[in-house]
Chains A and B, each alone.
Chain A
């Protein structure tokens, strides 16, 4: 498999695992030093990646997220929302960096919400496997009128 096909497969698999609430497998796609970040602006300005973020999760907090969502005790998951993530083909945008556009359709409480944006992945090899080292998610929505957006 070529590099782009392998990156694309990794990114599509992540979307599929999150849609399926398969959080431990999802977590396994991230390196042990991974960072997941949603900057506050859109498109994010260079100084948006420092200071206060919409969210910034290191590996430990990613594990906390996975645990929270699979614990059966997160009220936001009662009943479990349905999600469909559509992710475009990746484009190389730097050394080990790949950019995608995405849509997230969230269905909960008899309402549906649409989120969209662009993400840059930094890919690394760990234990001979391609993994995500850094994910910077830009969200085009101005506000979250439904009060909830799961990780993309």
Chain B
């Protein structure tokens, strides 16, 4: 009897997942990747009501620095005003809707709308409208500043935002991930995001990139040519499953997770997912990866290399060369992942075969580690296991269901 027709007792079948720990079964339904109504709910819950990442403080280090971001297709200006306050403003003139800033980044004290010349300070305040006499005496310029995004807050220089009001503080949202972000940032006292970015897109759901960024199981297959090249040059590789078993994938709760590799020196390196859209990768080269869902099957990804200001020139150059070689549309790694996303997206079009098996590692999970390098987490497994995906999709499924119940 197939599992589809088998009665399941004591298991969670919440539409998206079939979760049965006692049978070591965990399956994810294709609707997670292809259903527009699921995508709309995710955008509402995680980007409207929740917190998401927008940029790093080192990218707008000086008063007047700005950069454009466009979560959910909404053009925004992330900037530091003349008082040094970080602002996230909708890039839309309050007069007739034109974007007041078309440059992608730069330094400006003010933004002037190209349509009719309304001028705003970089704090958002409307400071001048041409021919002021054409408006009533009580025309309120104070009420017509650029609209600010509802919530903006930083942790260790990482700037997060939310579009609607929420009672959840940034620190509560980060949860266990906060301590793992501390573990990364404590290594880079002068953490600096480089100006150049690698930007690419793909036809497919945003969560494929989230999963892929934490996936060591695919390395020997999808990235075979990259690791063949490293082996040829006598460089370390991470493709042996027996070796991978010694290292950890940790689900941190709240959708967050991290895969942690260890060097003989005792140093640990992470791929830290701060759900929904930020991954901080330390290997094979330092990258802040930002995942921007655009539609149920359209995603944009931005990659930013980070360095530490204390890096000497040789160390910095090595990071740059390693970064270029793997990441981005011209790299020797990313394009192979994108090709697989396309392939999976086609596979998800088959209603008759709707389930993904995410049971890898259910037989070897753990909840504690004695190693002091690891702050609290919810569930652990080996780095090639599906541990984080199970945590993430249990969380996602639960949140979507709760939200549905509220709206009903």
A residues within 8 Å of B by Cβ?
38, 40-41, 48, 51-56, 60-61, 64-65, 67-68, 71, 73-76, 78, 109, 111, 142-151
Q: Could you tell me the distance between the alpha carbons of A48 and B195 in the complex, rounded to whole angstroms?
A: 10
Q: Is the Cβ of A145 less than 8 Å from the Cβ of B200? A: yes
B322-354 contacts to A (CB < 8 Å): 323-325, 328-332, 334-336, 338-342
**Which residues on the B side are within 8 Å of A147 (C-beta)?**
200-202, 329, 334-335, 338-339, 341
Q: Could you tell me the distance between the alpha carbons of A64 and B326 in the complex, rounded to whole angstroms?
A: 12
Kindly name the residue among A48, A54, A151 whose own CB sees the greatest number of chain B CB atoms within 10 A. A54
Q: A65-B332, A143-B201 are in contact. Are A71 and B228 (CB under 8 A)?
A: yes
Q: A38-B330, A144-B201, A148-B335 are in contact. Are A51 and B222 (CB under 8 A)?
A: no
Q: Is the Cβ of A75 less than 8 Å from the Cβ of B329? A: no
Which of B194, B201, B339 sits near A52, CB closer than 8 Å? B194
The yes or no answer to B203 lying at the interface (CB within 8 A) is yes
The yes or no answer to B102 lying at the interface (CB within 8 A) is no
Kindly name the residue among B321, B330, B336 whose own CB sees the greatest number of chain A CB atoms within 10 A. B330
B200-243 contacts to A (CB < 8 Å): 200-203, 221-222, 224-226, 228-229, 232-233
Which of B195, B330, B342 sits near A55, CB closer than 8 Å? B330
Name which residue of chain A comes closest to B342, CB basis.
A109
Q: Is the Cβ of B329 less than 8 Å from the Cβ of A148? A: yes
**Which residues on the B side are within 8 Å of A144 (C-beta)?**
199-201, 328-330
Complex A-B, nearest 8 residue pairs according to Cβ-Cβ distance, in ascending order: A147-B338, A144-B329, A40-B196, A148-B335, A75-B336, A143-B199, A145-B201, A76-B335
Q: Is the Cβ of B228 less than 8 Å from the Cβ of A73? A: yes
What 11 new A-B contacts, CB under 8 Å, besides A40-B196, A52-B323, A75-B336?
A53-B196, A53-B320, A56-B321, A73-B228, A74-B336, A109-B339, A109-B342, A143-B200, A145-B300, A147-B200, A148-B335
The yes or no answer to B82 lying at the interface (CB within 8 A) is no
**Chain B: minimal CB distance from A139 (Å):** 9
Name which residue of chain B comes closest to A48, CB basis.
B196
Q: Is the Cβ of A61 less than 8 Å from the Cβ of B325? A: yes
Kindly name the residue among A41, A143, A150 whose own CB sees the greatest number of chain B CB atoms within 10 A. A143
**Which residues on the A side are within 8 Å of B199 (C-beta)?**
142-144
Q: Is the Cβ of A146 less than 8 Å from the Cβ of B330? A: no
**Which residues on the B side are within 8 Å of A56 (C-beta)?**
320-321, 324
Name which residue of chain A comes closest to B341, CB basis.
A147
Q: A68-B332, A145-B201, A147-B329 are in contact. Are A76 and B339 (CB under 8 A)?
A: yes
Name which residue of chain A comes closest to B199, CB basis.
A143
**Chain B: minimal CB distance from A99 (Å):** 21
The yes or no answer to B198 lying at the interface (CB within 8 A) is yes
Q: Is the Cβ of A54 less than 8 Å from the Cβ of B198? A: yes
Task: Kindly count the residue-residue contacts between A and B in the assembled complex, taking CB atoms under 8 Å apart.
Answer: 103
Can you name 11 A-B pairs with beta carbons within 8 Å?
A: A53-B196, A55-B331, A56-B324, A67-B229, A68-B225, A68-B226, A76-B336, A146-B200, A147-B339, A148-B329, A148-B335
Name which residue of chain A comes closest to B320, CB basis.
A52
Name which residue of chain A comes closest to B229, CB basis.
A64
The yes or no answer to B305 lying at the interface (CB within 8 A) is yes
Q: Could you tell me the distance between the alpha carbons of A80 and B183 in the complex, rounded to whole angstroms?
A: 42
Q: Is the Cβ of A75 less than 8 Å from the Cβ of B339? A: yes
Q: Is the Cβ of A148 less than 8 Å from the Cβ of B339? A: yes
**Which residues on the B side are within 8 Å of A145 (C-beta)?**
200-201, 300
Q: Is the Cβ of A55 less than 8 Å from the Cβ of B201? A: no
Q: Is the Cβ of B335 less than 8 Å from the Cβ of A52? A: no
Q: Could you tell me the distance between the alpha carbons of A149 and B329 in the complex, rounded to whole angstroms?
A: 6
**Chain A: minimal CB distance from B222 (Å):** 5
Q: Is the Cβ of B222 less than 8 Å from the Cβ of A75? A: yes
Which of A41, A48, A61, A74 sits near B225, CB closer than 8 Å? A74
Name which residue of chain B comes closest to A77, CB basis.
B339
Q: Could you tell me the distance between the alpha carbons of A125 and B287 in the complex, rounded to whole angstroms?
A: 39
Name which residue of chain B comes closest to A74, CB basis.
B225
**Which residues on the A side are within 8 Å of B334 (C-beta)?**
147-148
**Chain B: minimal CB distance from A151 (Å):** 7
Name which residue of chain A comes closest to B336, CB basis.
A75
Name which residue of chain A comes closest to B317, CB basis.
A51
**Which residues on the A side are within 8 Å of B198 (C-beta)?**
54
**Which residues on the A side are within 8 Å of B305 (C-beta)?**
52
Q: Could you tell me the distance between the alpha carbons of A144 and B328 in the complex, rounded to whole angstroms?
A: 9
**Which residues on the A side are within 8 Å of B228 (C-beta)?**
71, 73
**Which residues on the A side are within 8 Å of B232 (C-beta)?**
64
Name which residue of chain A comes closest to B340, CB basis.
A75
Name which residue of chain A comes closest to B324, CB basis.
A55
**Which residues on the A side are within 8 Å of B330 (C-beta)?**
38, 54-55, 144, 149-151
Q: Could you tell me the distance between the alpha carbons of A76 and B328 in the complex, rounded to whole angstroms?
A: 13
**Chain B: minimal CB distance from A62 (Å):** 12
**Which residues on the B side are within 8 Å of A149 (C-beta)?**
329-330
Name which residue of chain A comes closest to B334, CB basis.
A147
**Which residues on the A side are within 8 Å of B197 (C-beta)?**
40
Q: Is the Cβ of B338 less than 8 Å from the Cβ of A64? A: no
**Chain A: minimal CB distance from B274 (Å):** 23
**Chain A: minimal CB distance from B346 (Å):** 9
Q: Is the Cβ of A146 less than 8 Å from the Cβ of B336? A: no
